[in-house]
Each structure stands twice: as structure tokens, then as C-alpha cells.
Amino acid sequence: MLAHKAEFAEWRDNPFTQALFAELNNQSNAAIEQILNRIGADSEKDQWLKGKVMAFSEAIGWLPEFIEDQVPVEGTEDDEEVTA
């Protein structure tokens, strides 16, 4: 997915997006707590919880590929556009 940095920042800083990230973080912490506080071994359940934590961490840390904006730079020949 391609996005402009400004558009991504606007989406990331949106209160709804921040609420989603907070909930994903809470769910991740709850899964970690379950793993740490388990009595006995349940490798299938533990593996599922570890996968859940990893998925939430990936979602929270995801970044798109950014579109490089072409902006005119004053003082260059014909105000040529350069990648910002």
C-alpha cells in the first residue's frame, strides 16, 4: 500500500485509530499476562496466545510504503522538481 506521509500521519493520529491501537495493546498485554500466569503447560494455547501477541504488535507497528512527493526547489534551474 502506498500513502503520503501527511495522510498517514493524519490517519495515525486520528482519535479512532488511537483507540484501536490502545485496544490492540490492551489485548496484547492480556495475552502476555495469561501466558505468564498459566499453571501448567498448554503448548497449543500458549502458541496461539504468542501468535496473537505477535499479530497485534505487527498491526500496531505497521507502516505503508510512502509516496515520495515531487516538490519544486527554489534556486534550481527552472525550479526543477526534486524528491522530498
According to DSSP, the β-strands at 2-3 and 81-83 are: unpaired
In the chain, the percentage of residues whose pLDDT exceeds 70 is 82
Confidence band, pLDDT 50/70/90 cuts, at residue 83: low
Write out pLDDT tens, residues 32-60.
999 888 877 778 888 999 999 999 999 99
Query: In this structure, are residues 73 and 79 in contact, taking their beta carbons and an 8 Å threshold?
Result: yes
pTM: 0.69
